[in-house]
Amino acid sequence: MGTHSLGKPVHGPKRPRPRPRARKPSRRLIDYPRRGRHGLRRWLPSWRQWAGSLGLGVCGTGCLFAVVYVSVDIPDENAAARREANVYYWADGTQMVSTGEVNRQNIKLSEIPDAVENAVIAAENDTFYSDSGVSPKGLARAAVNMVRGQETQGGSTITQQYVKNTYLSQDQTVTRKVKEFVIALKVDQRKSKQEILQGYLNTSWFGRGAYGIEAAAHTYYGIPAKELDASQGAALAALLKGAEQYDPSASRANHRRSVARWKWILDRQVKAGLMKPGTRAKFTTYPEPHKESRATSLGGQTGYLVDVANKYVKQHTSLTDKDLALGGYKIHTTFDKDKVRRLKGSVERVLDRDIDPKKRAADKGVQVGAASVRPSDGAIVALYGGADATEHFTNNADTSGVPVGSAFKPFVLAAALEHGTGGPAGRGTPWQAVSADSFYDDSGRLLVSAVPAGGSGSTGGSGLPTAPDGEPAGRETDDGPDDTHPTLRQALAKGGNATYVRLGKGVGWDRVRRTAIASGLLEGSMARLEKTFPIGTSTPSAIRMAGAYGTFVNRGLQHDPYSVTKVVKDDVAVDGLARPGARRAFDPDVADQTADAMRGVGMASVERPVVAGRTGDQDRLRSAWFTATTEELSTAVTMFRTSPDEPQLLPMSGVGGAKSQHGNVFPVRIWRDYLKGSGDGESR
């Protein structure tokens, strides 16, 4: 460095200052928006970014699914899936009615024809036996539909539908759909395909109130599922797409849709190898289902039939009301569908023709009860419990409280034929044998006509009934009988209350009572043992009266009435329902003589029925009865009047007009109309 003359230092040439270095841009974890790109390219992800996002999404989804899969387990079956109906069957095995909140009867897959299974598989999930139980496409479709605000349903496999029916609610949400997907995977691993298909067919909705293939078969075709053919199976499978749209009875549009889908399902089976083309060619006519008529109503006579069946089941098994309420029981009854229908029609025809509450005040509150029992075994084949079980809740065929009146007299006659009169039961009076042609003279002695009016009593060589020691008993006379001294047979046919009051006292009220009970009447229905007891102050039901009269034509062998032959649940029969055995009520000769005496009763004029009910020796009738039996059918019909405001029965005077004999003509008219053309034999 030099020095200037002025003393200032002298510098060399100036050097330029170095420019500061440019800082390199920092690396970003995600280069987005993309650096160095301009315009639209700046905002388009690179392929690496696309691949990374996709991989991250897949990993995230996989992790989420793993968490969900671990956390979601197969839940317990929901209550609706476990609930079944009780099903009642007619004597011929056809379904009478199903009762309960859910009309379903679970059955085994072995009870469902292969053709029906194939129709369902072809319609709903033709890869059922090879898939893993789920449809990823269906789950994706559900998510898309949810975004669009549409229903999430659609594309589910049979396994998924089974899971929805059995374990989940019917809510249409993605959450429920995801659970369905996961549970279906686990169910497919833990259950066989056969178990899943069986569960699906038992829980699916077929419309008309029917859950499951068994209920659907009865509802649409009136047959059990095991009797369905391939064509009917395809028609029912069509309903699984939506019964509201495919029930052919609902509308013409529904019918067109149903027929088209029926054809498609049959063709689909051929395409899937589930049906041979030759078999498909046989089904050219659509199998029209029955018109909609759900057999779940307890209206009309059905409620009364179910009431009698339930009572019998509870009396003879360990089942309770609570057990029956849980459902799932198949109850086979003795009721004959045609006879029930015919008895109902007979009652309605007579009431419509002869009873007019608008015209006569005495016709208000008229009630009818009736029952038919088969004498050979006690089976209840028909009954009439009232106008409608949903409106009139008391079962008139099975109620106690209606005095039976003169219909009780055959039991008095049978007791007299069996035991005679007098002796200890007759309060120390001399013992006398009795025949149907015995009669009382003015002095009160029991005599036997020299020329019997009919019948075949047990007699000795003298022609008179014999005493226990073999000696002749009674006294033969030529002085009777006549209009004022009727025989026991005649008094049975023409009223004769005084004769039977006297006979009952002579035999002994307790003996008469025991004979009536031995014949089949219930001890609890017996009236007090007093003067009017022999002429019908007791109050048996129509069912018990029909059964007891059957004892006479069954030669003294008594069968308790029964209404149920078997009860089955889960293919296991309930114990306690073996057919009741016969008991000897009285000697065959006694039964034959009583039945012989009753023949004139059954063939009496319509205007002069013999079994007119009376409450006692007063002329205030409160019930009218007619009971008659053939070897094939024993039937009891009763008519009475009630009022909601009156606990006692109302008088029958004036019912049906002045010529109705206090309503006594109507039970016999009902009986005659009922037996007309039935082929059940001549009346007795």
Neighbours of 30 (CB within 10 A): 10
Mean pLDDT of 647-660: 85
Q: Quick: pLDDT tens for 296-330.
A: 578 899 999 999 999 999 999 999 988 888 889 99
Per-residue pLDDT band for 102 (boundaries 50, 70, 90) equals confident
Residue 612's pLDDT is what? 29
Residue 261's pLDDT is what? 97
Asked whether residue 499 carries a pLDDT value surpassing 70, the answer given is yes
- Return the ∠ at Cα 102 (arms to 101 and 106), rounded to 5°: 145
Beta-carbon contacts of residue 256 (< 8 Å; ≥ 6 apart): none
Residue 305's pLDDT is what? 97
Q: Is residue 247 part of a domain?
A: yes
Residue 94's pLDDT is what? 92
Residue 310's pLDDT is what? 95
Q: Quick: pLDDT tens for 512-542.
A: 999 999 999 999 999 999 999 999 999 999 9
Residue 654's pLDDT is what? 86
* Alpha-helix residue ranges (DSSP H) falling in 446-520: 488-494, 497-507, 509-519
State the residue range of the domain holding 121: 101-280
Q: Is residue 188 part of a domain?
A: yes
Residue 460's pLDDT is what? 35
Q: Quick: pLDDT tens for 567-601.
A: 999 889 999 999 888 999 999 999 999 999 888 65
Average pLDDT, whole number, for the chain? 82
HSE at residue 153, side-chain half, CA atoms within 13 A, is: 9
Neighbours of 127 (CB within 10 A): 12
SS (H, E, C) 422-441: EEHHHCCEEEECCCCCEEEC
Q: How far apart are the first and last CA of the chain?
A: 162
Mean pLDDT of 262-285: 95
% of the chain residues with pLDDT over 90: 51
Per-residue pLDDT band for 663 (boundaries 50, 70, 90) equals confident
Per-residue pLDDT band for 83 (boundaries 50, 70, 90) equals confident
Torsion angles phi and psi, residue 261, rounded to 5? -70, -35
Asked whether residue 393 carries a pLDDT value surpassing 60, the answer given is yes
Residue from 552, 549, 553 nearest 540 by CA: 549
- More confident site: 618 or 644: 644
Per-residue pLDDT band for 509 (boundaries 50, 70, 90) equals very high
Residue 607's pLDDT is what? 35
Q: Is residue 469 part of a domain?
A: no
Give yes or no for a cis peptide into 113 (omega within 30° of 0).
no
Q: Is residue 108 part of a domain?
A: yes
Token duo for residue 587: 């000697």
Q: Is residue 51 part of a domain?
A: no
Residue 6's pLDDT is what? 52
Task: Output the domain CATH number for residue 109.
Answer: 1.10.3810.10
**Strand positions, DSSP E, 24-173:** 86-89, 95-99, 103-104
Whether the CB-CB separation of 501 and 420 falls below 8 Å is answered with: no
Number of domains in the chain: 1
Neighbours of 518 (CB within 10 A): 20
Neighbours of 520 (CB within 10 A): 26
Residue from 466, 464, 494, 455 nearest 593 by CA: 455
Q: Quick: pLDDT tens for 323-376.
A: 888 889 999 999 999 999 999 999 999 999 999 999 998 899 999 999 999 999
Q: 3-state DSSP: the chain helix, strand, coil percent, rounded to 5?
A: 40, 15, 45
Whether the CB-CB separation of 637 and 667 falls below 8 Å is answered with: yes
Which residue type is seen at 456?
S
Residue 145's pLDDT is what? 55
SS (H, E, C) 18-56: CCCCCCCCCCCCCCCCCCCCCHHHHHCCCHHHHHHHHHH
Q: Is residue 208 part of a domain?
A: yes
Give yes or no for a cis peptide into 561 (omega within 30° of 0).
no
% of the chain residues with pLDDT over 70: 74
Asked whether residue 464 carries a pLDDT value surpassing 50, the answer given is no
- More confident site: 555 or 39: 555
Residue 27's pLDDT is what? 62
Q: Is residue 334 part of a domain?
A: no
Residue 90's pLDDT is what? 97
Letter string b/e over residues 609-646, b meaning 16 or more CB atoms within 10 A of that residue's CB: bbbbbbbbeeeebbbbbbbbbbbbbbbbbbbbbbeeee
Q: Quick: pLDDT tens for 423-447.
A: 666 666 778 889 999 999 888 888 8
Q: Is residue 539 part of a domain?
A: no
Mean pLDDT of 185-210: 90
Beta-carbon contacts of residue 385 (< 8 Å; ≥ 6 apart): 301, 303, 304, 305, 307, 369, 392, 394, 395, 396, 397, 398
Whether the CB-CB separation of 326 and 125 falls below 8 Å is answered with: no
HSE at residue 405, side-chain half, CA atoms within 13 A, is: 28
Q: Quick: pLDDT tens for 116-165.
A: 999 999 999 999 998 888 877 655 665 555 555 544 445 589 998 988 88
**Strand positions, DSSP E, 249-407:** 330-333, 366-373, 380-384
Query: Does an H or E element contain 557, and which?
Result: strand 557-558
Spatial separation of the C-alpha atoms in residues 10 and 538, rounded to whole Å: 155
Asked whether residue 185 carries a pLDDT value surpassing 90, the answer given is no
